[in-house]
Amino acid sequence: ATNYGRNGVATLEMCNVALPKKLLALSQQFGVPNFINADSFFSDVSKSYPYLQEYRESKLRFREFARASACSDDTKVINLRIFHMYGPNDNKGKFVHEMLELIKSNAAEIDLTNGTQLRDFVYIDDVVDAFYCIVHNASLLDCGFMSFDVCTNQPVSIKCFLTAIKDKWCSDTHLNFGAIPTREGEFHLENIVADNSGLI
């Protein structure tokens, strides 16, 4: 369960911090051997980056709580730090879904930034495979807290990514790169190192 806070932050703390704390406490109380937390690489972006700041900080607060809690309990906490996930039935407000729908419908033009930002886009089926891998190999992991990156290790520019989608759909949509300014502090996202070697 995740709340991005896009429609207000009233329920964000409850969903992203209080609920998982309660679930972790119940897991520890009843001797559940493994607790898997769906984290986001986004929670490690610099605090000076303003976009979705409350969401990022809430995810980080629970992760650090879980890390501290795992050191004093037998329940393993396995943290999966998910990168830019995309796929069918995604939230309509998310970037890849919105771009795909516009390109598929042959929208005349999409105004974009220069598109040079690098992103590690990971398909939903690969994220599911990562969870499957963890569930079936959890007994091999050490006790305490462990974290794994769910990513491709192959970041691509937004420009290349969207151009590939356009080519795939033989769309006539004009991708108007450079029409809008890059979001303030966007470079912070490229400072997060992705490493999925722990899942291989």
Q: Which two tokens stand for residue 113?
A: 């930034």
Beta strand 109-111 with 145-150 is unpaired
Is the pLDDT assigned to residue 188 strictly greater than 80?
Answer: no
pLDDT tens figures, 78-101: 999 999 999 998 888 889 999 999
Taking residues 39-66, report their average pLDDT.
91
Q: Which residue has the higher pLDDT, 32 or 186?
A: 32
Is the pLDDT assigned to residue 198 strictly greater than 90?
Answer: no
Mean pLDDT of the residues in the chain = 91
pLDDT tens figures, 151-164: 999 999 999 999 99
pLDDT tens figures, 84-143: 999 998 888 889 999 999 999 999 999 999 999 999 999 999 999 999 999 999 999 988
Q: Which residue has the higher pLDDT, 6 or 36?
A: 36
Is the pLDDT assigned to residue 8 strictly greater than 80?
Answer: no
Is the pLDDT assigned to residue 9 strictly greater than 80?
Answer: no
User: Residue 92: what pLDDT?
Assistant: 84
User: Residue 73: what pLDDT?
Assistant: 78
User: Residue 113: what pLDDT?
Assistant: 93
User: Residue 6: what pLDDT?
Assistant: 75
User: Residue 183: what pLDDT?
Assistant: 85
Residue 108 neighbours by CB distance under 10 Å: 9
Helix/strand/coil (H/E/C) assignment for every residue in 34-45: EEEEEEEHHHHC
Cα separation, 123 vs 144, in Å, equals 29
User: Residue 143: what pLDDT?
Assistant: 87
pLDDT tens figures, 59-75: 999 999 999 999 777 89
- Residue of 143, 127, 139 whose CA lies nearest to 196: 127
What is the pTM for the complete model shown?
A: 0.89
